[in-house]
A and B are shown apart, each in its own frame.
Chain A
């Protein structure tokens, strides 16, 4: 991997090359039925059980468009601050493949439903705006399975015809970190809108990556190569890095880049040229004569605008103002809509600072360990709020709270109950604490001497002893205060 500087550059001797990246993200639309047929879209069903006659392209079958998918695309366009086009056209993209039953894909070519827009990324060195070229609707293809039968390919058309939004960025991305942030931002926006679940493992979010290089300072764009169907951010980054280096190597040797389509080999970690056929790019686009132009009036679009919830950027601003969070903290809490909901639930009933720390710290660690989403969290937002309040009102210490948290994670129980049952209440009675402290002091005369004669580090020893004697329940602040008084 190249240097992980703020600026992502490919270095050769004293030369610096910058990498120009554009992404074409394919996002599966969340809808009950497919784009042009009324079959279900659920992931993971038995093969060919979600296929209609239209999906399988039987003779005489015709497409009928799903209104909801149109709305989802418009919503997404609004989330991308983009122009919604009142008139758009569906075109046929013609090519042959086993998982493309019609022999063409219904897509949009010159007149997409959504035009130019932008997305703001929160990078460590400030905000960066990435331009969106367009968003259009198109059919997803089926799946070709090559590894079950050694002689043949098996085809499952369940996915054939599911609605996809293709979001094309302008070539504004310049680093692997930006690519990561961009994908995450897109995903976040769509999850907020409920237009795509952004699940890369299930394939509901995929990307084709366009990469070119040029010497830093040049303004002309270099020839780009397209890397198709990369299905994780990590692979995207690896593919870009490999490809950028490959291109720089060629240029350094005095060669030129061939514009081509490549695949990323995840085993060898390199990009490979797909078999170039002369006809590889002749899709012979033409308007689909089985459909008519999609004409949307402003009322239709405005109705949809009303349904738009508070989006990540707005929410982030509000969190910073209302809750006094740092931009960094706000970012983490708003990037996923479920997390932001959880956070707001917790903080409305408890301390904001503690809520922030506990969610971004302990809770995220728990979710990570169990590989679950916040919606599946065994600790509800109510219960986390209760836990935080127990800390705030001194019932338990922060340290004890961690133990309680673990028990909550396993049992899903109310923290108050746990504290009761396990007798975890903090010992905050000064008289009781004095007793313990006095005993510790009297039990350790040598250390007391040593401390008094300057070994200040021994303070920790006394604290530790008090904690031990109190089975960890002594209120740490009070212990500190009282100990200090007694030892000085």
Chain B
């Protein structure tokens, strides 16, 4: 499986990271060598194996339906790049 420049550009759009042409080319090379390494997994027959998502040896804990969180608006907005006392502020989405 080789990854081409077009795919790299598509992936960078999906992950919302802009990449200039030069960097994209280098990245394509890096990714291809990494993927060659990853392809090793194809040597294994896993048709009868169940996937393992978590190694946490426990069951999902259920929380009681109680309100424990106070109004912490100040804390929530404290680190905001664009200062506003009520909202997060972002540039408009282009419709």
**Residues on A facing B (Cβ under 8 Å):** 31-33, 37-40, 46-53, 56, 64-70, 89, 96-98, 144-146, 149, 151-157, 275, 277-279, 282, 284, 287, 289, 291-295
* Interface: B35 (CB within 8 A): no
CB of A31 to closest CB in B, whole Å: 5
Shortest distance from the beta carbon of B5 to any chain A beta carbon, whole Å = 15
* Smallest CB separation, A57 vs chain B (Å): 11
B66 with A154: CB separation less than 8 A: no
B64, B71, B91 pick with most chain A CB within 10 angstroms: B71
Smallest CB gap from A279: residue in B: B14
| B95 partner residues in chain A, CB cutoff 8 A | 275
For residue A51, which residue of chain B has the nearest CB? B76
Taken together as a complex, chains A and B put the C-alpha atoms of A9 and B13 apart, in Å, by 42
Q: Which residues of B contact A146 (CB under 8 A)?
A: 92-93
Interface residues of B (CB under 8 A from A): 10, 13-14, 16, 53-54, 56, 58-69, 71-73, 75-77, 82, 84, 86-93, 95
Is B59's CB under 8 angstroms from A67's CB?
Answer: no
Residue contact A64 to B61, C-beta cutoff 8 Å? yes
Q: In whole angstroms, what is the CA distance A175 to B59 when docked?
A: 45
**What residues of A have a CB within 8 angstroms of the CB of B84 in the complex?**
154
- Nearest A residue to B51, CB-CB: A287
23 A–B pairs (Cβ distance < 8 Å), ordered by A: A33-B68, A38-B63, A39-B69, A40-B67, A47-B87, A48-B73, A48-B88, A50-B69, A52-B69, A53-B76, A67-B64, A69-B65, A146-B93, A152-B91, A153-B91, A153-B92, A153-B93, A154-B86, A156-B86, A278-B13, A279-B13, A291-B60, A292-B58
Closest A residue to B65 by CB, please name it: A68
Pair A152/B89 contact, Cβ less than 8 Å: yes
Bound: A214/B8 CA distance, A:
40
- In the complex, which residue of chain B has the Cβ closest to the Cβ of A94? B14
* Residue of B16, B76, B88 ringed by the most chain A CB atoms within 10 A: B88
CB-CB under 8 A from A40, the residues of chain B are: 67, 69
Q: How many A-B residue pairs have CB under 8 A?
A: 120
**Bound form: Cα–Cα A293–B58 in Å:** 10
Contacts of B61 in A (CB 8 A): 64-65
Which residues of the other chain, A, contact B10 by a CB distance below 8 angstroms?
278-279
B89 near A32 with CB under 8 A, answer no
A294 and B60 in contact, given A48-B77, A96-B16 (Cβ under 8 angstroms): yes
Query: What separation, in Å, do the CA atoms of A294 and B63 have in the docked complex?
Result: 13
A193 to chain B, nearest CB (A): 16
**A152-B82, A155-B87 known; 4 other A-B pairs, CB under 8 Å?**
A38-B67, A51-B72, A89-B53, A156-B87
Give the distance to chain A from B57, nearest Cβ to Cβ, in Å: 10
A41 to chain B, nearest CB (A): 9
Contact B13 A48 (CB under 8 A): no
Q: How far is the CB of B92 from chain A (nearest CB, A)?
A: 5
Closest to A64 in B: B63
Taking a contact as CB atoms under 8 Å apart, the answer to whether A32 and B66 are in contact is: yes
Closest to A156 in B: B87
Are B59 and A292 interface neighbours, CB within 8 A? yes
B63–A66 touching, CB < 8 Å = yes
A residues within 8 A CB of B56?
Answer: 292
Residues of B with C-beta under 8 A to A38? 63, 66-69
CA–CA, A248 and B61, complex, Å: 51
Q: B84's closest neighbor in chain A, by CB?
A: A154
Residues of A within 8 A of B75 (CB): 53
Does the CB pair B59–A295 fall under 8 Å?
yes
Residue pair A47, B86 in contact (C-beta under 8 Å): yes
- Give A462 Cβ to nearest chain B Cβ, in Å: 68
Q: Quick one: given A49-B73, A52-B72, A292-B59, are A33 and B65 in contact (CB under 8 Å)?
A: yes
Contact B92 A32 (CB under 8 A): no
Say whether B93 contacts A98, CB under 8 Å: yes
Q: Find A151's partner among B54, B62, B92 (CB 8 Å cutoff).
A: B92
- Chain A residue with minimal CB distance to B54? A292
Chain B neighbourhood of A70, CB < 8 A = 62
Chain A residues closer than 8 Å to B88, beta-carbon distance: 48, 98, 154-155, 157
B71-A153 in contact (CB<8A): no
Which residues in B have their C-beta under 8 angstroms from that of A295? Answer: 59-60
**A292 to B63 CA separation, bound complex (whole angstroms):** 14
CB distance from A73 to the nearest CB of B (A): 13
B residues near A65, Cβ cutoff 8 Å: 60-63
Nearest CB of chain B from residue A46's CB, rounded to whole Å: 7
A145 to B92, CA, bound (A): 10
